[in-house]
Every structure is written in C-alpha cells, then in structure tokens.
Amino acid sequence: MKLIVLGAPGSGKGTQAKFITQLYQIPQVSTGDLLRDAVKRENALGVKAKEYMNTGNLVPDAIVLELLKIRLMKDDCSKGFILDGYPRNITQADELAKITEIDQVINISVDHGLLVKRITGRRTCKECGAIYHIEYQPPSQEGICDKCSGELFQREDDTEETVKNRLNTYDKQTKPLIEYYSSQNLLQTLISDGTIEEMRQKVKLLLENRFH
C-alpha cells in the first residue's frame, strides 16, 4: 500500500499518517521530519535546509529528493509507506513517478482560517515525534508526552509569521497537485471540519473501501 497524504500546513497530515501507520503497519515517511533531523545534526544539508524552513519556503527539490530516495530504500518501506509532505510541487511529483507507483492520494481539505490556530497550538514530542495540540489534543501532563514521557516542544517554523508564508507556498506550489492526481484518478478529498477522531474514522473508511 503506497499512499500520499496531501494537505496544507497544519491540515493534519502527520496526525492521520501516524494513525494509518498503526492501522496498516506501514511506515510514515515525512520529508519534514527527515529535514528536521538533518537540521538537528547540523550537517551541511541541515544548515542549508534550515534557511528555507524557517522562512516557510520549500527546500530545493534536489535536496529533498535525495533524502527521500535514501529513506524509501530502507527495508521497512518494502511493503509500502505513507508519504507525508512529499511531493510539494509538480516537479517533485514527476520525480516520484520515476521511482515508484502510488496507489492512493488522500487530500485533507481544511478551511485556511482554522490552520493558524492548529499550527501555533501544536506541540511535538522530542523523543518519539507524537503530535499534540494545547487545546484540541492536550497531553495529560503539560509539556510531557503521554506515550514516552519525552519533553514536548514547539517547532521553530510554527510562528504566525512563518505560517502565513507556508500557506502562500502551499497555495502557489502544492495545491496544483490536487488536479495532477485527480486527473490520474488517484485522489480522494476528505474535508477536515471536525475532531481528530472524526477525521480518523473518515480515513479508515476511505482505506477500507479502497483496499478490501
């Protein structure tokens, strides 16, 4: 099962990708996480990527493609994967088509007005990457991960200013992928106007109908 989760920043791609991972035992491959890992390690690639990420722009295609190829070659991707955050533009989609086929694209559609609040309230576990929201999905103990007791942090690019640019970048460069994958009959759109749990049920139903 080779899936893409498409959607604007803060739409819930990561949250739903983690849910699908549990349902189908396939890994979440997040280019955002791969890039943040490179930034943390402060290697040459990470230093370069940080400039783009902290201003809300896309990291150059060649850098991201290289990271993605290495990740997809790992054993755990042999039975499938969920791509979260890739592709981000038509060039990346064309490059992806050269390395693998895709079975289904899930497009998460959210009113832009809701996204800033979702993003600025997000907290992520430093240890296991679990995603929380201070209002919509709070941990039992403030600042501490329920799953592994790791420390929760706020991403550097989750400021209101950067979010505006991330949304612009999405509208200009990523949104055209909806038409790109629709025209290949690969895309289904789910409207995310309810809770995380309601969205999980929609995702589950879509995948059950598609793969059983």
Known catalytic residues are 13, 88, 122, 155, 166
Q: Calculate Rg over the CA atoms of the chain.
A: 16
**Contact with ligand AP5 (CB under 6 A) among 19, 82, 122, 187:** 122
Asked if residue 139 binds ligand AP5 (CB under 6 A), the reply is no
Cβ neighbours of residue 102 closer than 8 Å, sequence gap 6 or more: 2, 3, 4, 83, 96, 181, 186
**Contact with ligand AP5 (CB under 6 A) among 32, 39, 50, 152:** 32
Asked if residue 35 binds ligand AP5 (CB under 6 A), the reply is yes
* Residue 31: closest CA among 76, 128, 96, 121: 96
> Angle at Cα 205 formed by Cα 174 and Cα 178, nearest 5°?
15
Which residue of the chain is nearest ligand AP5 when measured via CB? 32
Asked if residue 91 binds ligand AP5 (CB under 6 A), the reply is no
Asked if residue 196 binds ligand AP5 (CB under 6 A), the reply is yes
**Contact with ligand AP5 (CB under 6 A) among 1, 129, 136, 159:** 136
Cα distances from 23 to residues 53, 82, 105, 178, in angstroms, run 30, 12, 17, 25
Asked if residue 206 binds ligand AP5 (CB under 6 A), the reply is no
Residues 58-87 close enough to bind ligand AP5 by CB under 6 A: 58-59, 64, 85-86
The residue (of 51 and 76) whose beta carbon lies closer to ligand AP5 is 51
Residues 61/91, Cβ–Cβ less than 8 Å: yes
The residue (of 185 and 186) whose beta carbon lies closer to ligand AP5 is 186
Looking only at the bridges linking them, the beta strands covering 152-153 and 122-125 are antiparallel
> Angle at Cα 14 formed by Cα 176 and Cα 95, nearest 5°?
45
Cα distances from 205 to residues 132, 201, 211, in angstroms, run 24, 6, 10
Record the tokens describing residue 2, joined without a space: 């080779």
Q: Which stretch binds ligand AP5 (CB under 6 A): 3-11, 39-47, 69-77, 138-146?
A: 3-11
Q: Can you give the binding site for ligand AP5, defined by CB under 6 A?
A: 7, 9-15, 31-32, 35, 52-53, 56-59, 64, 85-86, 88, 92, 118-119, 121-122, 131-133, 136-137, 157, 166, 192, 195-196, 199
